């Protein structure tokens, strides 16, 4: 299962840097130039993710040479401004794994006007499914971690079905 709840487009301004024991720069990061030089170029949903769930770094330098040696071929050609959405998909496949994409459904940490953040979830689900279909992933399972009533999950289930057909 490839979980990535933050990416809402591909290419993406975000890099979900998987754990790296030699550097303390793991997490959801983006190039700090999105704060000024490139500000205003992103759709509202992606800009909100940067603001609420990621931190700015010098993306061309932060991951480190070992990280770039291992994952660099999967990050795309637009680094540091953009990273291929869900870049570890092909990395896992190249390692012989069958990959199932796991986008976000309603979650406790993301509300929109007191409701589940449907615009965010829909963009995340669409980006995951497009990349998984393109890369030939084994499937998609939309996750949900929430105390909302079960009916709140219906729109994300419908979005998953819509974007995978």
pLDDT digits 0-9 by tens, 26-80: 688 999 999 999 999 999 999 999 998 899 998 877 777 888 899 999 999 999 9
Per the confidence metrics, is the pTM higher than 0.85?
yes
The torsion region of residue 82 among left (phi > 0), alpha (psi -120 to 50) and beta comes to beta
Residues 128, 158: Cα–Cα separation, whole Å = 15
HSE-up (13 A, CA, CB side) for residue 43: 12
Mean pLDDT over all residues of the chain?
88
CB atoms within 10 A of CB 61: 12
Beta bridge partners of 55: 29
- What's residue 127's pLDDT? 96
**Domain limits, the chain:** 2-164
Nearest to 16 by CA among 80, 92, 83, 105: 83
Burial class for 44, CB neighbours closer than 10 Å (0-12, 13-18, 19+): exposed
- What's residue 94's pLDDT? 96
Measured in degrees and rounded to the nearest 5, phi and psi for residue 115 equal: -115, 170
Give tens-digit pLDDT for 2-24.
988 889 999 999 998 765 555 55
């Amino acid at each position: 299962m490839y979980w990535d709840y933050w990416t809402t487009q591909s290419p993406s301004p975000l890099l979900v840097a998987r754990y790296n024991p030699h550097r303390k720069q793991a997490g959801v990061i983006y190039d700090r130039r999105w704060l000024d030089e490139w500000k205003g170029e992103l759709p509202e949903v992606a800009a909100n993710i940067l603001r609420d769930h990621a931190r700015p770094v010098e993306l061309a330098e932060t991951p480190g040479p070992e990280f770039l040696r291992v994952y660099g071929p999967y990050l795309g050609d637009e680094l540091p401004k953009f990273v291929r959405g869900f870049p570890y998909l092909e990395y896992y496949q190249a390692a012989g794994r069958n990959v199932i994409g796991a986008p976000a459904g309603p979650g406790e940490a993301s509300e929109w006007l007191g409701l589940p953040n449907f615009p965010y979830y829909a963009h995340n689900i669409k980006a995951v499914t497009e990349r998984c279909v393109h890369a030939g992933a084994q499937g998609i399972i939309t996750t949900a971690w929430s105390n909302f009533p079960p009916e709140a999950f219906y729109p994300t289930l419908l979005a998953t079905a819509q974007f995978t057909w």
